[in-house]
Amino acid sequence: MKRRRRTEILINGSRTLVEQLAQTIADNYRVKVIQEPEHGLVMMKVRETSKKSLFYLGEAFVTECKVQVEGVVGMGIVIGDQQDLAYKLAIIDAAIEAQLAETDEWSKLLESEEEKILKARKLEDQSILKTKVQFETMDVS
């Protein structure tokens, strides 16, 4: 599983899974902190749909952390003040980049978490879809 999908599952899913994956690595390897979790900004670049050009919408406040596991650097970055989550995301990122044996089973766990997220989202979508409206124009004659 590639990073874009993986990080979305980890950030939007249960914190228990993040905890479990990071702990597995921390229990078996030395985690060297390259950059303590620290705050920063991400400038958001958007495409407008009138002329399809780019502009800056504003900045998102983020927490970023970098660690090294088995000589490979991993980064954790997430919107908001989430220092513990950024640290654990960095460990998971490093472990996967280093192709550690422990990560072999992670795809299944991530896919199962993704299913839970989709199920919860579907429920929420149902409540939003209840507000779908069919307007009818009235005769004015």
Partner 1 sequence: MGYVAVKGGTLAIEESIKRLKYERIQRGQTIEVGRIQAGMRGLIDQVMSESSLYDEALAALAIKQAEGNPEEAVFLLRAFRSTVPRKHYSKVIESQDMKVERRISASFKDIPGGQILGATTDYTHRLLDFQLMTETDNSVQEWLHHYLSEKSDQELSGELKLPKVLDYLRKEGLISPCENNDREPDDVTRESLEFPSTRSQRLQVLTRGQTGAVTSFAYAVIRGYGDLHPTVGELRVGKLPVTVAPPASEENDVENDYYIGGVKATEVEMLMPFTVEKEYGKKEMEFEIGYGLCLGQNETKAIAMGILDHCLEHPNLEFPSHNEEFVLYHIDSVESTGFISHLKMPHYVTFQSKLDSVRKTRKAAREEVKNG
Q: Which residues contact 93 (CB under 8 A, 6 or more apart)?
A: 3, 7, 74, 75, 76
Using CB under 8 A as the binding rule, whether residue 75 contacts partner 1 is answered as yes
* Binding of partner 1 by 140 (CB under 8 A): no
Q: Which of 101, 119, 133, 138 binds partner 1 (CB under 8 A)?
A: 133
CB of 56 vs partner 1, minimal distance in Å: 5
Of the candidates 115, 21, 34, which has an alpha carbon nearest to the alpha carbon of residue 69? Answer: 34
Q: How open is the CA angle 106-110-116, to the nearest 5 degrees?
A: 150
For the window 7-36, what string marks contact with partner 1 as x by the rule CB under 8 A?
xx--x-------------------------
CB–CB of 75/65 below 8 Å? Answer: yes
Binding site for partner 1 (CB under 8 A): 2-5, 7-8, 11, 39-62, 64, 75, 77-81, 125-137
